[in-house]
Structure 1
Amino acid sequence: MTETHEATTAWRELLDTLRELDASFMTGPKAVTDDRHVADGYRMLATTLGVAFDTYLFADPSRPRWVEVNSPFRPDRRWGGDNTDALYFMCPVDPSRRYRISGNRGDSVYFSITAYNEPSPGAWSDRIVALVRDDDLDIDEDGNFSFEFGPQPDAAVLMTRDYQADPLTGRPVSWTIEALEPPDPFRHSEAETAAALRAGAAWLRTMFAILPLAVGVKNSDEHEFGHETAMAANDFAEPYQVPDANFGWSARDACYAYGSFDLAEDEALVITHRPPACRFWNLVVWNQFMAVPGVSDARSSVNGFTAAPNSDGSVTVVLSRGMTAHPNSLTTLDYPRGNLAFRWFLADQVPARPEVSLVKVTEAPTELT
C-alpha cells in the first residue's frame, strides 16, 4: 500500500527504530549478561520513549511548560545519569523569544537552569549556551525569585537542577515559566508531527548508542559518548570538570568521576575519597543504563549531608550486593554488575581520584576511622 501521509511514514520509522534498539543491549560486544539488565533495557526503552514524546511531540516553545525528566520518585523518569537526591525539569524553548522564569527555592542546597543547544532535530546537545544558578539571582527572604531569559542564540532547551539534602523530607524548588510574547497560532500540522516523531527517533538512537555502559575496560573501537570513560572494573576514572563544550546534558558547575562494579555475593568495594569544599556532592549506584535501580526502602546513594565522615575528614563507603554494618553502607540491590557516579557541585578544585579496594564482605570495615 502506498502511503501519502508524511506523519504515517514518520510513525512507522519510529516503530522500526524501537524494533531495532534492543540489539544494543541484547547482542554484540555490549550485550548485558544478567536477566535484570535485560529487563532494565526494555524499561529504559519505555522511559526514553516517554521523555522523547514529552520533549519533542508534545512540546510547544511558544506555550512553554516544565516537563519532569528526572525524579527519585518516578521509575519512568530515571535515565541519563539520574540520582536519588535531585529533581530535573526540561523545557524546549525558542531562541528568539523572551521568557519569564519564576519560583521558590524551597529547601534546595543547589539549583540552576542551564540552556543547551541542539545541533540538529533530535540530536543531543554538544554545547552549554547559558547558565543561571541560584547565587546569580535575587532571592527574597521567603525564597522567591524571578528573572527573564532570552532571546538567547542557539538555546533549544532549558534544564533545571534541584539538589536536596534529603528529597524525602525537603521542599523542592517550584518552577514556573511563561512566554512574554503572544503564542504562535495553534495548529498541529502533519509536517510538524512528522518532524517531531523523527526528532524523537533520533534522540532514542543516540541514547542507545551510549547504552548500556561498559563494566570494566572498554574495547578501543567503542564510542566516546557522554558519561562513559575508560575504566577498569571495581575502580574509578580520574575526576574531571565539565567544559562548556560537552556531549549531552552535564552540569557546567559539576565535577564527575565514573566507575563500575563487578561483585560476587561475598564481595564488597571499599571506596574512600576526600571531598573538596563544595556546595554538594554525592555517590550513586547505577545499573548499566545510567539509572539508579533504587527504591525508597534501600540505600543506593550517599551525599555530603548524609555521609558520616572519618576523623580526618575523608569519607569511606562500603558497597555490596546487600547491606553491611558500616554507617555509609550502600547496596547494589543484588545487581552483580553496574556503574558508579560521583558528582561534586561548585567544588573549589577538581577532587582527587577516589581510592577503591575489593574485599570480602566479612573483611569490610564496619566503623568509621
Structure 2
Amino acid sequence: MSNTDPLAPWEEYVDLLKPGAGLLRRTWRPDDPEYRADVYRQLAMNLSYAYFQYFQSDPLHPEFMPLWNSVYLLQPNPDDVYYYAPIDGRRRYRIAGDRGGTFLVHFQFGAGMMGMVYPPGRQINYLDARELDVGADGSFEFIASAECPPGYSGTWHPLDPACDFMMVRLRSYDWGGEADTRLAIECLDAPPLKPRMTAGDIDARLRSMFTLSERWSRLWFDYQVELLDRLGTNTFELNRFEGMGIQNQDYWTAVFDLQEGEALLLESDLPEQRRYWNVQLNDPYFNAVEFVYRQTSLNGHTASVDPDGRFRAVIAIEDPGVANWLDPGGFRQGTVFGRWMECDAAPVPTLTRISLASLETALPDGMARVTPEQRAAALRARRMGAQLRRRW
C-alpha cells in the first residue's frame, strides 16, 4: 500500500484468509477429511456473513442486518431470528415497528460484538418488548440514548456511551403461526444521506471482513474442545454464558457421542413454571444442525410431554418412530444445547446409551409414537413454518 493509495493489491486481502485453514487444528478431529470439508464450508459461510457485518451498515446510518439464522449457522437457536445493528452509545436512536405476534422480542445492547472482536466484549443492558408501549394497531417505538430527550413521554432506554451494537432476538414457539415483528432503526443525530465509502473505509472493512473467521470460529471451536475435555461425552452441565447469553436463561449443554447401532435417550424433569424451553443439536463445529428440513430441535410448543410429566427424546441417526426424535443429520458427534428461560427451576437432563435392538423395550409405554405419515406431515409443517418466518 502506497502513501497515496489507501488500497492494497487485491491479493493482499485474499491472503488474509489463509490463516483460517489453521482453524481445523482446533476441532475435535483435525485429521478427519470430513471435518476438513465442513470447516471449509464454514469459512465460506463466515465470509458471506462478514460482508453484512462490515459493509452494509454503520452507526450513523444503521439497519437491522441478518446475524445468525439458518444460513449463518454458528449455533443459532432454531427458534430465534437474530438481527444486529451497529450503534454509537453517545448518539440517539429511534427504533420503531410493528410488534406482530412473535412469541418473544428481546433487545440486547453491548460493547464488542462476538466475532468482530476477540475475545468478545460485554453485554451492557437489555430491553424486553413487554416493557414497550404497544398501540392498538401493534405499532411501537422507543428511544435509546444516553439521556432521555426533554419532553419525551414514550419508552426510553438508557445507552451506555461505550455501547457499539444492538442485537435483537425474535423468538418463535409456533413457527409460521406467529405474525413477524417488523423493525426499523434510525440515528436521530445523523445527516439523512448516507455518504459514499472512502477507499480508506473499504480497506479497513476488507481487513476486518477477511479475518472474521479466525476470531469467530476460533471462539467456539475452543469452547467445544474445552467442553469435551472437561465433561467428556453424554453428560450435561448448566451454564449461564454470562456476558454473552440472554438474561434469565439457563443453558444445559453436553457433547453427544453416538456409536454405530446406538441411540441416546435424553430425559429431563420439566420446571412447573416455564415461559420458554427448547433443545437443539449442533454439529462438531458449533453450527446448528440443519433445522428447516430435519427435526433437529424441539421446544415447549412442539415437544410431546410424557404422561408422568417428564420430557424424553431419542437422538438417533434413523427415525426411531417416536414423536420426540432429535435427528443429528448424519453426525455422530456434536453438542446438545437446551434452554430454560424464566423458569422456576433448572433441571439437569441425562443422556443414556441404548442399543437400537433394545430401544423399543427401553422406552416408556406412554412415550408418544408417530407413523411414517405423521412424521412426513410434521416435517412438512416444520419446513413450511420455518420459511414463513423472515430470517434474513
Are 2:16 and 1:7 equivalent residues in the alignment?
A: no
Distance 1:204 1:59 in 2: 19
Are 2:228 and 1:233 equivalent residues in the alignment?
A: no
Question: What letter matches 1:284 in structure 2?
Answer: Q
Alpha-carbon contact 1:128-1:252 (below 8 Å) kept = no
Q: Are the structure 2 counterparts of residues 123 and 19 from structure 1 closer, same or farther at C-alpha, using a change threshold of 3 Å? A: same
Alpha-carbon contact 2:114-2:121 (below 8 Å) kept = no
Partner of 2:150: none
Distance 1:251 1:321 in 2: 31
Residue 362 of structure 1, CA deviation: 3.1
Residue 87 of structure 1, CA deviation: 0.6
Are 2:202 and 1:193 equivalent residues in the alignment?
A: yes
Between stretches 12-21 and 104-113, larger displacement belongs to 12-21
Distance 1:262 1:161 in 2: 30
Distance 1:14 1:204 in 2: 14
Are 2:348 and 1:353 equivalent residues in the alignment?
A: yes
Distance 2:277 2:321 in 1: 23
Partner of 1:319: 315
Q: Are the structure 2 counterparts of residues 186 and 331 from structure 1 closer, same or farther at C-alpha, using a change threshold of 3 Å? A: same
Are 2:167 and 1:167 equivalent residues in the alignment?
A: no
Partner of 2:80: 86
Between stretches 355-364 and 35-44, larger displacement belongs to 35-44
Distance 1:203 1:29 in 2: 17
Partner of 1:340: 336
Are 2:234 and 1:251 equivalent residues in the alignment?
A: no
Residue 342 of structure 1, CA deviation: 0.8
State the TM-score, normalized to the length of structure 1. Answer: 0.84
Alpha-carbon contact 2:108-2:123 (below 8 Å) kept = yes
Distance 2:26 2:298 in 1: 34
Question: What letter matches 1:307 in structure 2?
Answer: A
Aligned CA RMSD, in angstroms, stands at 2.7
Alpha-carbon contact 1:122-1:202 (below 8 Å) kept = no
Aligned pair partner of 2:130 in 135, 156, 169: 135
Question: What letter matches 1:279 in structure 2?
Answer: R
* Secondary structure of the corresponding residue to residue 7 of structure 1: coil
Distance 1:217 1:158 in 2: 29
Residue 218 of structure 1, CA deviation: 4.2
Residue 15 of structure 1, CA deviation: 2.3
Residue 48 of structure 1, CA deviation: 1.3
Residue 71 of structure 1, CA deviation: 2.4
Structure 2: give runs of 5+ residues left out of the alignment: 147-158, 368-392
Distance 2:194 2:326 in 1: 52
Residue 274 of structure 1, CA deviation: 2.1
Question: What letter matches 2:296 in structure 1?
Answer: S
State the TM-score, normalized to the length of structure 2. Answer: 0.80
Alpha-carbon contact 1:82-1:291 (below 8 Å) kept = yes
* Secondary structure of the corresponding residue to residue 206 of structure 1: helix
Higher helix share: 2
Distance 1:116 1:35 in 2: 38
Partner of 1:222: none
Aligned length: 347
Q: Are the structure 2 counterparts of residues 12 and 279 from structure 1 closer, same or farther at C-alpha, using a change threshold of 3 Å? A: farther
Partner of 1:205: 214
Residue 275 of structure 1, CA deviation: 2.8
Partner of 2:151: none
Q: Are the structure 2 counterparts of residues 172 and 253 from structure 1 closer, same or farther at C-alpha, using a change threshold of 3 Å? A: farther
Q: What is the identity percentage for the equivalent residue pairs of Structure 1 and Structure 2?
A: 24
- What's the CA shift string for 1:258-282, capped at 9, x where partnerless? 1112212321111111232232111
Partner of 2:110: 116
Alpha-carbon contact 1:285-1:339 (below 8 Å) kept = yes
Q: Are the structure 2 counterparts of residues 271 and 142 from structure 1 closer, same or farther at C-alpha, using a change threshold of 3 Å? A: farther
Partner of 1:46: 44
Aligned pair partner of 2:68 in 48, 67, 70: 70
Are 2:176 and 1:156 equivalent residues in the alignment?
A: no
Distance 1:120 1:307 in 2: 31
Q: Are the structure 2 counterparts of residues 217 and 51 from structure 1 closer, same or farther at C-alpha, using a change threshold of 3 Å? A: closer
Alpha-carbon contact 1:269-1:357 (below 8 Å) kept = yes
Partner of 1:266: 261
Partner of 1:147: 142
Question: What letter matches 1:329 in structure 2?
Answer: W
Alpha-carbon contact 2:103-2:178 (below 8 Å) kept = no
Structure 1: give runs of 5+ residues left out of the alignment: 220-229
Question: What letter matches 2:84 in structure 1?
Answer: M
Q: Are the structure 2 counterparts of residues 120 and 90 from structure 1 closer, same or farther at C-alpha, using a change threshold of 3 Å? A: closer
* Secondary structure of the corresponding residue to residue 90 of structure 2: coil
Residue 298 of structure 1, CA deviation: 1.9
Distance 2:5 2:344 in 1: 56
* Secondary structure of the corresponding residue to residue 214 of structure 2: helix
Distance 1:326 1:33 in 2: 35
- What's the CA shift string for 1:225-254, capped at 9, x where partnerless? xxxxx3211222x213343xx2xx422232
